Structure 1
Amino acid sequence: MNNDYYITTEKSRMDVDLIHKYLTKSYWAKGRSKSLVLKSMENSICFGIFDKSNNQIGFARVVSDLVVFAWLMDVFILDSYQGKGIGKILLKFIFEYPEFKNVNVIGLRTNDAHALYAQFGFERIPNPETWMLKKNT
């Protein structure tokens, strides 16, 4: 890994205020309360990426049964660090994470990062007519 950054899954190291501030302004988690951010983190494997000064600069989380399915969510790199390949460092780490090696499928949703995820082998869902979702409104 790049010596300028390090990644941890240790939840006690995550800057919850920073994560909440970013997510609540994002298109996918706009307005999510801090208590819900904390609850989502408690029920996920969390990945924080930090600079040499121990400042958190990015985050992602995955929910999985570690066998059949995993869902990647809440991926971000702070705006001032974007465009430097840091997101790719974080994603590579996640996709090489030992617990996910045998997972059959990793899913995600994005409005604007299809090209980034395609670099890691993501494709549009084949046979989308077979997928169903139940949304609680």
Structure 2
Amino acid sequence: MHDDLPGDDDTDYELDDDPSRVQRDVVWGWLSTEAYWGRWRSRADVETQIANSWRVVGAYRRDTGEQVGFARAVSDGVGFAYLADVFVLDAHRGHGLGKRLIRLMIDDGPGASMRWTLFTGDAHGLYRQFGFAEPDETAMVRPARQGT
């Protein structure tokens, strides 16, 4: 599935959910140095997470094909999905790519009617635009165990 809709904020970029297009060196480079939420992961961990994801979406420059953004999701494929590892490289921010990644992943994809969850420490305003809200009293989270 492509996101090339007329009227996009910036036609210099295209989005695609083809996992074979993911440039793993780009994803690893950003997640291992910039992601406050997951720098503990090894390259093998990230490779496994990408391979086992239900869906991945990448943002690419039209002229070079260079990957400049990424999002992945894990899901049961029916009623629940978890959004993870959403990023846009600094030099490509300000073009609406973060919103386009999220829209293609959750609203325009096969999980549009699912219950979505995510964790974020700094992008609450962005995700609220897509219907995310703080959990109610029915939600519980088991934190990761120390040393894992």
Q: With the length of structure 2 as denominator, give the TM-score of the two structures.
A: 0.84
Return the match for 2:44 from 32, 35, 39. 35
Counterpart of 1:132? 141
Amino acid aligned to 2:46: V
Q: CA deviation at 1:117?
A: 0.5
Identity among equivalent pairs (%) = 36
Q: CA deviation at 1:131?
A: 0.8
Q: Is the 8 A contact 1:64 1:71 kept in 2?
A: yes
CA displacement, residues 89-132 of structure 1 (integer Å, 9 cap, x when unaligned): 111111223320332x100000000001011111000116x413
Q: CA deviation at 1:134?
A: 5.0
* RMSD of aligned alpha carbons: 1.5
Q: Could you say what secondary structure the match of 1:91 adopts? A: helix
Taking the aligned partners of 1:119 and 1:20, their CA distance within structure 2 comes to: 28
| Higher helix residue share | 1
Counterpart of 2:26? 18
Note the residue ranges of structure 1 that are not aligned, 5 or more in a row: none
Q: Could you say what secondary structure the match of 1:60 adopts? A: strand
Note the residue ranges of structure 2 that are not aligned, 5 or more in a row: none
Taking the aligned partners of 1:98 and 1:15, their CA distance within structure 2 comes to: 21
Amino acid aligned to 1:113: A
Return the match for 2:98 from 87, 91, 108. 87
Amino acid aligned to 2:61: D
User: Given the superposition, is the C-alpha separation of residues 86 and 98 from structure 1 closer, same or farther in structure 2, using an over 3 Å criterion?
Assistant: closer
CA displacement, residues 22-59 of structure 1 (integer Å, 9 cap, x when unaligned): 00121011142111111000111111111112110100
Identify which range, 59-68 or 27-36, moves more after superposition: 27-36
| 1:7 partnered with 2:18 | no
Q: Could you say what secondary structure the match of 1:98 adopts? A: coil
Identify which range, 76-85 or 54-63, moves more after superposition: 76-85
Taking the aligned partners of 1:119 and 1:102, their CA distance within structure 2 comes to: 16
Counterpart of 1:66? 77
